[in-house]
Every structure is written in C-alpha cells, then in structure tokens.
Amino acid sequence: MTTKMFGQRVPRVEDPRLLSGQGRYLDDLGHDALEVAFVRSPHAHARIVDVDVSAALDVEGLVAIYTYDDLDGRTTEPLPLLIPHPALTHGRTPYALAKDEVNHVGEAIAMVVASDRYVAEDVVGLIQVEYELLPAVVGIERSRDGGDLVHADVPGNVAATMVQEVGDAATMIAAAGHRATLSLSIERSASMPMEGKGVLARWDPDDESLLMHTSTQTSTSVRQAVAAKLSLPVDRVEVVTPDVGGGFGVKIVHPWPEEILVPWAALRLGQPVKWVEDRREHFVSSAHERGQLHEVEFGYDDDGHLRGLSVRFWHDNGAYTPYGLIVPIITSTQLLGPYKPGAYRVEFQSLYTNTVIVTPYRGAGRPQGCFVMERVMDAIAADLGLDRTVVRERNFIQPEEMPFDHGLIFQDGRPLIYDSGDFPASLAKLKALVGWDDFESYRSAARAEGRQVGIGVACYVEGTGVGPYEGGHLRIETDGSVVVSTGLTTQGQGHQTMLAQIVADELGVSMDRIRVTTGDTRRFKYAVGTFASRTAVMSGSAVALTARKVRAKALRIAANALEASVDDLEIVDGHVQVKGSPGSQIDLGAVAVLSNPLRYAFDAGATRATQFAAPADPSVPPVPENDQPGLEGTDYYSPLRSTFANGMHAVVVETDPETAEIKILRYCVVHDCGTVINPMIVEGQVHGGVAQGVGGALYERMEYDAAGQLLNASYMDFLMPYASEVPHIEIDHLETPSPLNPLGVKGAGEAGVIPGSAAIAAAIEDAEGFAIAAMPISPSELFELRRRHAGR
C-alpha cells in the first residue's frame, strides 16, 4: 500500500537544498552579466531641472547611462495601472525613469550600466542632478489637508473615494442603546524579504529571444508586461523565477521599473545585464504597507450585540497607485471578521503622499481591519463590564448560518460570502489553550510578585484562494517519474512538497518520483501568481484535477495492456495492477512508453513495455482520434469565489512597571484553513506570520521625517524582530473543509500576521488599564502614554 501523504507532516523536499547553501537566487546567476545601479532621488518631491553626466563619462568600466530621454517606444509611457477600479478616479503610475518630476525619495532618475556594481555605483556618485524642490506631502494628515499636492492634477491628493453600505448604519447606530467612537491608527511597515528584488536579462540574437530571470511572485504576468513594453512578440520572451528569498507581497507588483529597464538595456547592448537591489534601495524604492487612520462609530445593545458600525478611514497609498485599491478594499470588507455588524457602512479615501508606493504586504489591509473590529469588541466589553470573549461569542456568525453573505463586494469583484467556519468552536479551543478562564488568578499571583500582566484576544476571517484560475501540467516519463508544473511562483513556502503530496496520493506514486516546477514560463504559460494565500487552493486543486486526468489515461492504457477493465485497476507505488492481484501489473513508466507509438528502445523500460504492446490495428491510426501521444495532461481550476479561512489569537504580555518593556509571555493560535495538506508547513506559515505580526505590533515602522526622508532605511534601525524577539507559539487546529474546491482546503499563508497588532494591543491595554489606539507601540511610547495618563 502506498501511504497517504495528504495530511502528513512530510518533511519539506526543498529544505536539504536550501539549508545547505544549494539554493540559486537571482544574484547567484549571471556572473557574466553587466551590472546596473540607479541614480535615485534624494528628495521627496522635486522637479528635475537637469541631469549632467559629463563628470562620469571617463570612469573605466562604464558601459552606458540612460535617462528618460533615452527611452523609446512604449518604455516612454507610464507603467501600467494593474488593477483599475471605477472608484480609482485619479490613479497615477510612475515612469520607468522619472520624466520631469520625482515623487518620493528613491525614485529612479538614471540607470547606469557598467562592468560591475562597484563601478556602476562610482558612476552614480558622479552624475549631477539639478532639482527644483517642491513641498513634500508626508503623512495622512498632511495629505488630507490638501494644502500641498503630490500630483498637481489630483485635487486634495485623493486617488479614490469608495463607499459600501449594508443596511442603514447611521439609523441603526442612532437607535442603539449605546454608542461610542474610536480613532485608531496603524503605521507603515513593509514586506522586507531578506532577498530584495533582482532582474537578469539575456537577449539571444541568434534565437531572437529574451530570457529573463526575476525575483517575482508572478513570472507569467512579467512576461506579458515585458513583451508589451519592449514591443516583442510574446513567444520570444520567457521569464523564469529562480529561488526567491521571500516576497510577502512586494514582488507581486509588476512590472517594476527595473523589470522593464534591465531587459531593455540587454536588448540594446546585446549583452546580459543584471540588477540586484540592495537593502537601502529596497527601503526607498520598493513598497510599504499598513499606514491607515480610522474613525469608527458604533452602536450596541445592553447585551453587547453590535447594531450598527460606521467606519471612515484614510489609506496612505504613497506616490503612485500601480496596484489599485486592493489594500483598502480588503480592509473595508475583511474588517468584519467573524462578526455580524448589524448595519455596516464603510467609506475610505486613498491618499497620495510623497513616500514609497503601497502594495499588499502579507495580510494586505486585514491587520488594520482586524485591529479596528477587535478594538470595537473590546470597547463594548469594557463599557458593559462583560468578558471580552462573551461579547465576541454574542456577535459571531453561527456555523448554521454558513454560507454567510455579508452583502458586500470583495477584492476579487465577487460577493463576500463566507463558505464555512465554526467560530464558537474555534474560540472555545483558544480559551482552553490559553487558559482564559484561569487568567484572573494568574494575574493576582503575578501582581503579588510586583509583576503586571495582561491578556488579549483577536479573531479574523481571511479571504484566501482568490481566482481567477491556476493550472497544472503533469507528465509521467518513461522511467516512471512524474514531472509536475504550475505557473505560479514559490518564495520558500514549501510548494514543491505540498504539491507533490497531492500528486502522490492522486497518482499512487511515491514522493521521491515527483518533481515540481513553479514559476517558469517555459514550462507553463497561463498563471496568475502567488499572493492572497492562494497556492494550495488554486494550484493544489489544479494539480489534483490534472493528476486525475492523467491517471484516467494511464488506467485506460494499462487496462488494454493487462486485458482488464479500468474499474478493476488501482495504482500502487507506481504500478498499475488488478485490484487484489498484484501479480498482474505494469509500472507507470511502461504505461508511458505504451502511450507513445514511436517507441525506440532507448532504455530497458521501453524494451520491457513491448511485451504489453498490443498488435497494431490497421483500421485506426497509430494515435487515434481525440487521443494524444504521451502520458501527460493539463487542467485548470477556477473557483466561483474565494474561500474564507479564519483564526483566533490570544496573547499574554507582561509590561515592566519601571522600564515599560513589553514582553510576550504566551502566544496562542487556533487556526482553521480547512483541510490541512501538511500540518508542519501550515504551522511554519503561521509561525512566520506571527513573527511579522509581532514585528508590526512592537518593532517595525517606517520613520519618515516631514521632508520625506526615511530615517531608518537599514536593518540597524528598522527593527525587524530577530528569533530572540519572537515568542514560542502554541497552535491548535480546527478543520472545517471548504465546499468550494476538490481538496476542501483554504489558504494559510497570510493568516499568522493578521491579528497580531489587535491581540497585542488588547493585552497591553489589559495590563495597563488604559486604551491603546495606535500601533505599533514601543516601550518609549508606552512610557509616554503612562505619563499622559498619570497626568490626567
């Protein structure tokens, strides 16, 4: 019997390679390539008066300097607005190289190509740019004032205003027995993958083709974009993702300016060209996320039932909007979490500032929404003197109400309908895991030792596995090995393992006979990309469907060879056999040989297969109509709508009464992502997410000054937590399968990060006895808050 792989803690097949330094990341490739560095704006907002390269021209090793004026064809146009939306009335995107204005520190003005990066940076230092400074608009308040404009033709700095409403929130709030308001803010952080972006482009003049490697979350879309921008036939462009050292959202945006400029230069120069982003560049020229201010008004009854909720928020989208309104739309819809809001109205404005652009960062607008909703739940509990979990239970959507339609439109343009979930059961598990009901005695014991502790809880629902589709291709080779390909990309999540587990079960072959390739357009042309916790749902389902198709063909051929009925066959450990009579079997490699009428006996397998070959029927062609040679297949999965995973976190903190240090004593997670393919991988994803949640709650922020200079653009001052700052994480699972896909799975990639700020703020609030309305929070800020509250 082949052991079932689905659901097992299968060790990751990619780990031995990645952990022993055998990974091949972008900068491991292209040692023969010319290298690129950019002149980037030191100013947040300025007109470019002049670019003078004369002092740089004599540097040995310099190959070329390009500015906007050198661009041609479609590279002179602004970069695409990837996801337009009717509410995005004033979408703006940058040029690949700034044309006459720069809108944030770090915007590229000139590209230098040289023999190596050292020389390229020397040249960058010698290029003189003359600027005429314009007022910098930094921070949501300044932008909202509208006194100074980021883009002269965007009044009030407003890129978009969007409203959704279910029921009549104002009336419901007014009629509720209790009313309250909250002002809540979350600061900017960033995806911050350890590997920044990077692009290597090779133009092959003999083949007239472009081969590009890029550290992206979507190779198929980069391919389309590059072909369009460089006016190349799409079939002359291939894009490959090598190993990618993290994405977390920032690499879903495409094409980045460099993804156009590097291949453009390679074509022009007829030489391979490479650019590898350094850390400082990543801070000032990639993307940030999270910065939002929220004004919340809500009404509730004596029992703590929310009757009406009205949220206005302002989203800092930075200087441009290439990724549209995805982040604020997610906040506005996913804010509701597992709760029924009564009536709900949400209005947001997406505002320009002279800072780095925003793209989804793991969680993508949900941490902000969760923070808002969970603060509301805690405020109701505090006001009514109710246990915080009781208020949550009373507002939960009940399992029997599934599927639950919120009456809103989600980020994918489809209705926001939760497919499944059992929130009361999840909360019960969490309370048991953290010991919620015993906490007061723990608190008293701690207090007796002079220690101050607090507990917080936060719940979320996460739309995952968004469409439109993903595909799989699978071929069984004549040696019996299985080659699987899917078009979306991998950034270290363990996709190779997870997809191989699915294929192993579907086909009845062992894991070590399966090779999985992702993100290589030479292998698979139609794909969307890796984001929105969608790989297991989308590619997992697609690969399962594909495997079923190929399995059916293998059985058909084997039935013929074994002179048995398809229904009597099974595949065990790579062999097709008559159920219950293992003596009568044929291995899948031999079946693959039989599937191809051209059968040179290159190897033993082919020779062996000839014993099964039926005599040719002269009345049918060697490949019958509606059949194909080979044991391979392609299939796609396209869901009706997203699946909705959920989870709940509880955190116990200790705050030092003297130093205001904040220590996480316990971090408990109950997680429901439907059927679990590999619990170890899911837990790893939760761990990584929690680490980023802790970072966003206690350590990370983008420290812009009023002039738009990012003051902490290095790992020295941008405080990403080390392993030493991430608490031990206790996890329990609940599995409510999704009815929407063949595997019953939901996404798990982003979950861990979402409730971090909400749960940690709640725990600090519980320890300190005053409200926490802004995250992240540092010990220094907690100290200042204490002083303010003591002064009252």
Partner 1 sequence: MKPAPFAYHRPSTVAEAAQLLAATQGKILAGGQSLIPIMSMRLASPAALVDLNHVPGLAAIDVTSTAVHIGALTRHAALEANDAAYLANPLLRRALRHVAHATIRNRGTTVGSIVHADPAAEMPAVLRLLGGIVEAVSSERGHRSIDSADFFVGPLESALQPDEVAVAATFPHPPGGSGSSWAEISRRHGDYGLVGVGSLVVLDEGRRITSASVCLISVGGTPVLVDVTDASSGTTYDAVDWTAALELVDAAIDPESDIHATAAYRRQLARVLTGRALAQATADAIARVAA
Does 707 contact partner 1 by CB under 8 A? no
Among 23, 78, 435, 779, binds partner 1 (CB under 8 A): 779
* Listed ranges 164-172, 274-282, 329-337, 447-455: which one lies at the site for partner 1 (CB under 8 A): 274-282
Among 703, 732, 737, 742, binds partner 1 (CB under 8 A): 703
Please tell me whether residue 325 adopts helix, strand or coil conformation: coil
- CB-CB neighbours of 188 under 10 Å: 24
Does 721 contact partner 1 by CB under 8 A? yes
Among 141, 303, 438, 784, binds partner 1 (CB under 8 A): 784
Does 787 contact partner 1 by CB under 8 A? yes
Does 121 contact partner 1 by CB under 8 A? yes
Does 568 contact partner 1 by CB under 8 A? no
Min dist. Cβ of residue 49 to partner 1 (A)? 24
Does 722 contact partner 1 by CB under 8 A? yes
Q: Who's near 642: CB < 8 A, 6+ residues apart?
A: 410, 412, 414, 463, 464, 465, 466, 467, 532
Does 279 contact partner 1 by CB under 8 A? yes
Among 659, 706, 730, 789, binds partner 1 (CB under 8 A): 659
Asked if 669 contacts 731 with a C-beta cutoff of 8 angstroms, the reply is: yes
Does 711 contact partner 1 by CB under 8 A? yes
Residues shown for the chain: 792
Does 783 contact partner 1 by CB under 8 A? yes
The structure tokens 């996480």 sit at: 664
Partners of 645 in the beta sheet? 462
* Listed ranges 113-121, 246-254, 534-542, 586-594: which one lies at the site for partner 1 (CB under 8 A): 113-121
Nearer to partner 1, 125 or 597 (CB): 125
Does 118 contact partner 1 by CB under 8 A? yes
Give 243-278 as a DSSP string.
B-S--TTTTTS---HHHHHHHHHHHHHTS-EEEE--
Among 47, 151, 280, 515, binds partner 1 (CB under 8 A): 280
Min dist. Cβ of residue 456 to partner 1 (A)? 22
Min dist. Cβ of residue 354 to partner 1 (A)? 19
* Listed ranges 7-15, 378-386, 555-563, 657-665: which one lies at the site for partner 1 (CB under 8 A): 657-665
Does 387 contact partner 1 by CB under 8 A? no
Among 387, 699, 709, 771, binds partner 1 (CB under 8 A): 699
Report the candidate in 624, 629, 677, 580 with the shortest Cα–Cα distance to residue 1. Answer: 580
Min dist. Cβ of residue 423 to partner 1 (A)? 35
Which three-class secondary structure string do you get for 575-617?
EEEECCEEEEEEEHHHHHHHCCCCCCCCCHHHHHHHHHCCCCC
Q: Cα 173–179–184 angle (5° rounding)?
A: 100
* Listed ranges 176-184, 201-209, 708-716, 749-757: which one lies at the site for partner 1 (CB under 8 A): 708-716
Min dist. Cβ of residue 199 to partner 1 (A)? 17
Does 661 contact partner 1 by CB under 8 A? yes
Nearer to partner 1, 100 or 784 (CB): 784
Does 706 contact partner 1 by CB under 8 A? no
Does 512 contact partner 1 by CB under 8 A? no
Please tell me whether residue 94 adopts helix, strand or coil conformation: coil
Does 148 contact partner 1 by CB under 8 A? no
Asked if 763 contacts 653 with a C-beta cutoff of 8 angstroms, the reply is: yes
Among 2, 161, 271, 712, binds partner 1 (CB under 8 A): 712
Min dist. Cβ of residue 703 to partner 1 (A)? 5
The burial of 614, by beta-carbon neighbours within 10 Å (0-12 exposed, 13-18 middle, 19 or more buried), is given as exposed
Does 717 contact partner 1 by CB under 8 A? yes
Does 780 contact partner 1 by CB under 8 A? yes
Pairing state of beta strands 198-204 and 273-276?
antiparallel
* Listed ranges 170-178, 278-286, 532-540, 625-633: which one lies at the site for partner 1 (CB under 8 A): 278-286
Upper half-sphere CA count for residue 776 (Cβ side, 13 Å): 25
Nearer to partner 1, 254 or 701 (CB): 701
Please tell me whether residue 724 adopts helix, strand or coil conformation: helix
Report the candidate in 119, 7, 18 with the shortest Cα–Cα distance to residue 64. Answer: 119
CA of residue 276 relative to chain centroid, distance: 21
Tell me the residue type at 259: E
* Listed ranges 135-143, 387-395, 568-576, 719-727: which one lies at the site for partner 1 (CB under 8 A): 719-727
Cα gap 757→361, rounded to integer Å = 15
Cα gap 172→506, rounded to integer Å = 52
* Listed ranges 20-28, 597-605, 758-766, 773-781: which one lies at the site for partner 1 (CB under 8 A): 773-781
Min dist. Cβ of residue 32 to partner 1 (A)? 19
Does 58 contact partner 1 by CB under 8 A? no
The structure tokens 């968004």 sit at: 466
Q: Who's near 363: CB < 8 A, 6+ residues apart?
A: 689, 692, 693, 750, 753, 754
Among 400, 444, 658, 792, binds partner 1 (CB under 8 A): 658
Asked if 733 contacts 670 with a C-beta cutoff of 8 angstroms, the reply is: yes
- CB-CB neighbours of 483 under 10 Å: 16
Min dist. Cβ of residue 726 to partner 1 (A)? 11
Does 452 contact partner 1 by CB under 8 A? no
The contacts found for 608-617 with CB under 8 angstroms, 24 or more apart, are 609/478, 612/561, 612/562, 612/586, 613/561, 614/560, 614/561
Give 99-159 as a DSSP string.
SSEE-STT-EEEEEEESSHHHHHHHHHH-EEEEEE-----SHHHHHH-SS-SSTTSGGGEE
Nearer to partner 1, 522 or 663 (CB): 663
Q: Who's near 427: CB < 8 A, 6+ residues apart?
A: 389, 392, 393, 396, 459, 648, 670
Cα gap 560→190, rounded to integer Å = 58
Rounded (10°) angle between helices 423-434 and 388-395: 170
Nearer to partner 1, 324 or 695 (CB): 695
Does 25 contact partner 1 by CB under 8 A? no
Among 724, 728, 791, 792, binds partner 1 (CB under 8 A): 724
Among 84, 125, 622, 624, binds partner 1 (CB under 8 A): 125
Does 55 contact partner 1 by CB under 8 A? no
Asked if 353 contacts 139 with a C-beta cutoff of 8 angstroms, the reply is: yes
Min dist. Cβ of residue 109 to partner 1 (A)? 18
Partners of 541 in the beta sheet? none
Asked if 18 contacts 493 with a C-beta cutoff of 8 angstroms, the reply is: no
Among 7, 81, 90, 122, binds partner 1 (CB under 8 A): 122
Min dist. Cβ of residue 654 to partner 1 (A)? 15
Q: List interacting residues with partner 1 (CB under 8 A).
A: 117-118, 121-122, 125, 278-280, 658-661, 699, 703, 711-712, 714, 717, 719, 721-722, 724-725, 778-780, 783-784, 787
